[in-house]
Amino acid sequence: DTEVTQTPKHLVMGMTNKKSLKCEQHMGHRAMYWYKQKAKKPPELMFVYSYEKLSINESVPSRFSPECPNSSLLNLHLHALQPEDSALYLCASSQQAGYEQYFGPGTRLTVT
């Protein structure tokens, strides 16, 4: 079963709100990823966790804060976002870093 789940599916938030995106996988994968995708563009890597440690942070603004509570879960905490942060946020996992990635359905975020 190559399933990655994400909640919520849709999220509308104001610029002063704090919210969290959640991602879960039960495939025993040891690498997990957050991507941001704008319309008609490829996914843009934000963060990589490998064995529950943050290994890559692609110069993402501090208003995005990742957290990996355990090997199955990945959170993305959002605070004081800007309208340009509106996008599809995708979570992915892979057996290890560099292997095939399997994506969740994404959270469509709108910042008003």
Partner 1 sequence: RKEVEQDPGPFNVPEGATVAFNCTYSNSASQSFFWYRQDCRKEPKLLMSVYSSGNEDGRFTAQLNRASQYISLLIRDSKLSDSATYLCVVNVFMDSNYQLIWGAGTKLIIKP
Which of these segments, 8-16, 48-56, 60-68, 76-84, binds partner 1 (CB under 8 A)?
A: 48-56
Q: Is 56 in the site for partner 1 (CB under 8 A)?
A: yes
Residues 80-99 that bind partner 1 (CB under 8 A): 88, 90, 96-99
Strands (E), the chain: 4-7, 10-13, 18-25, 31-37, 44-50, 53-57, 64-70, 73-79, 87-94, 102-103, 107-111
Q: Is 1 in the site for partner 1 (CB under 8 A)?
A: no
Single out the residue of 7, 55, 110, 112 in contact with partner 1 (rule: CB under 8 A): 55
Rounded to the nearest 5 degrees, what angle is found at the Cα of 109, between the Cα atoms of 84 and 30? 110
The distance of closest approach from Cβ of residue 100 to partner 1 in the complex, given in angstroms and rounded to an integer, is: 5
Is the separation of the CB atoms in 67 and 74 below 8 Å?
yes
Q: Is 66 in the site for partner 1 (CB under 8 A)?
A: no
